[in-house]
Structure 1
Amino acid sequence: MSETSALRATSATESRLVGVTSALATVFIWAGWLIATRYAMTSNFTAVDIGLLRFVVPFVLLAPIWLKKGIWPKGLSIANGLLMLIGSGAFYTLMVASALQFVPASHVGILLPGVMAVWAVLIAVVMFGERPGKVRLGGYAAVIVGVLSLVALKPAGAISSEMLLGYGLVSAGAFMWACYTHAMRQSGLGALEAAAFVGFWSFVIMAVIALFTGTTLADAPVGDVMMLLTAQGLLAGCVAVITYGLAVRHIGSTGASAFGAMTPALTALGGVVLLGEQGNLALVLAVVLVILGVMVASGVFRKMKI
């Protein structure tokens, strides 16, 4: 092997390592965000508290971007901007946080990416005329079976009306994120630009809501507030945006999606180990089916570059 070939091979290996490491970091952050939110919603925090902590960090840290690009970036349509704000900003956070008041993090970690994938393809079919092939449809079918197994395999009487409400809120949140995904692709914004745009307006929205609802942050334990600031604002709001971007750049969007499909397993594990949530056969089956379904539907097995 020539010196040039050796250098290229080394560079490719290093690039792949950066991509895999970044993808793993992203998945752990996503799972940690759900676990931290479930912890907060079952203690003394409200959904408004979580929203404030979630967006104050990107509002401040990404200020150089929104100050430079403007609070409404040039060329961003009203429709795409509103869909991005509704789909991943304050309203999405309030929706998911409210769901986590009634549903374990392990369930939300399965439902959110699984139902989002189904919503995303339905939107693509209806709005953009996309026609997924039989293999992808099989993947979506596996996701649906996995999600339904969470309910179908539970003992009679184990599903309360509050839990059903939580499932409905998660499904609505998944629809919102699917809308954000399509709007983001059409917006022309980079990852950090989108994070700065959503972070600015979402913090403003949460601050206005807090004026009417009040907040319990002043009375909350300092340790819990710092933990949520780190997990919600710094890691989920800023770091994950960068690490996911690095993952896509170094191992491709398909490779990044393959790691993203691990989120249900990590969230379920964290919910059981850290929060004492119940683990059972239905949970394991749902995790396996949703992970496989998302990977098949995204084309990972056909195009994975890792």
Structure 2
Amino acid sequence: MSRTSAVAMNSATESRLVGVTSALATVTIWAAWLIVTRYAMTSDFTAVDIGLLRFVVPFVLLAPIWLKRGIWPKGLSIANGLIMLVGSGAFYTLLVASALQYVPASHVGILLPGVMAVWAVLIAVVMFGERPGWVRLTGYATVITGIVLLAVLKPGHSAGSTILYGYGLVSAGAFMWACYTHAMRQSGLGALEAAAFVGFWSFVIMAVVALFTGTHILDAPMDDVLLLLVTQGLLAGCVAVVTYGLAVRHIGSTGASAFGAMTPALTALGGVFLLGEEGNLALAIAVALVIFGVMVASGVFRKVWR
């Protein structure tokens, strides 16, 4: 092997290592966001408190970006901007946080990415005329099977209207995130620019809401406040934006999506072992079906086969 080939191989190996490490960091942060939100919603915090702590960090840390680009970036349409704010900002956070008051994190970790994937393809078909092939449709059907299993059996939970209400909130949140995904692609903004835009306006919205509802942050234990600031604001609001971008750059969007499918498993494990949520075979099967379905729908197996 020539020296040039060896250097190229080492470079490719290092690049893939960076991509895999970044992808693992991203899905861990996503799972931690759900687990910590569930913990907060069952302790001293309200959804408004979580929203304030979620967006104050990107509001401050990403200030150089929104100060440079403006609080409404040039070229960003009103429609796309509003969809991005509703789909991933203050309203999305309030909705998902409210759902986690009724639904275990282990369930939300399955429902949110699974339902979002289904909503995303439905929007693409209706709005943009996409026609997914039978392989992708099989993946979505597998995701739906896992979601139905979770909803019908409600593993680890007794039947009741409150958990079904929570499922409805999660499904609405998944729809909002799917809309954000399409709007983000059309916005022309980079990942950090989008995070700065959403972070600025979401913090402003949450601050206005807090003026009317009040906040419990000052009365909450300082350790819990710091936990939310780090996991919600710093990690989910800023770090995950960078790590996911690195993952896409080094292992491609398909590879990054495949790792993203690990979120249900990590969230379920965290819910069971960290929060003491109940788990059983039905929950494990639902996790496996959603992970497999998301990976098939993302085209991972087709790429490997080729």
Whether TM exceeds 0.5 here: the answer is yes
How far apart are the structure 2 equivalents of 1:187 and 1:304? 31
Map Cα deviations across residues 56-103 of structure 1 (whole Å, 9 max, x no partner). Answer: 000000000000000000100000000000000000000000000000
Equivalent in the alignment of 1:239: 239
- 1:38-187 matches, within 5 Å, as 38-154=38-154, 158-187=158-187
Report the count of equivalent residues: 305
Map Cα deviations across residues 169-190 of structure 1 (whole Å, 9 max, x no partner). Answer: 0000000000000000000000
Write the letter of the residue equivalent to 2:9. A
Alpha-carbon spacing, 1:276–1:77, altered in 2? closer, same or farther (3 Å): same
Map Cα deviations across residues 217-274 of structure 1 (whole Å, 9 max, x no partner). Answer: 0100000000000000000000000000000000000000000000000000000000
Describe the SS at the equivalent of 2:72. coil
Q: What's the offset of the Cα at 1:303?
A: 2.0
Q: What's the offset of the Cα at 1:304?
A: 5.1
Write the letter of the residue equivalent to 1:175. F
- Percent of aligned pairs with the same amino acid: 84
Q: What's the offset of the Cα at 1:282?
A: 1.4
Equivalent in the alignment of 2:201: 201
Unaligned runs of 5+ in 1: none
Describe the SS at the equivalent of 1:29. helix
- 1:241-280 matches, within 5 Å, as 241-280=241-280
What TM-score do you get using the length of structure 2 for normalisation?
Answer: 0.98
How far apart are the structure 2 equivalents of 1:253 and 1:304? 14
Unaligned runs of 5+ in 2: none
What TM-score do you get using the length of structure 1 for normalisation?
Answer: 0.98
Write the letter of the residue equivalent to 1:31. A
Superposed structure 1 runs of 4+ greater than 6 Å apart: none
Write the letter of the residue equivalent to 1:76. L
Write the letter of the residue equivalent to 1:257. S
Contact 1:151–1:159 (8 Å) recurs in 2: no
* Farther-moved stretch of structure 1 (145-154 vs 275-284): 145-154
Two-structure CA RMSD over aligned residues (Å): 1.3
Write the letter of the residue equivalent to 1:130. E
How far apart are the structure 1 equivalents of 2:242 and 2:160? 39
1:212 aligns with 2:212: yes
Q: What's the offset of the Cα at 1:151?
A: 2.2
Equivalent in the alignment of 1:301: 301
Equivalent in the alignment of 1:31: 31
Describe the SS at the equivalent of 1:275. coil
Write the letter of the residue equivalent to 1:103. V
Contact 1:106–1:267 (8 Å) recurs in 2: yes
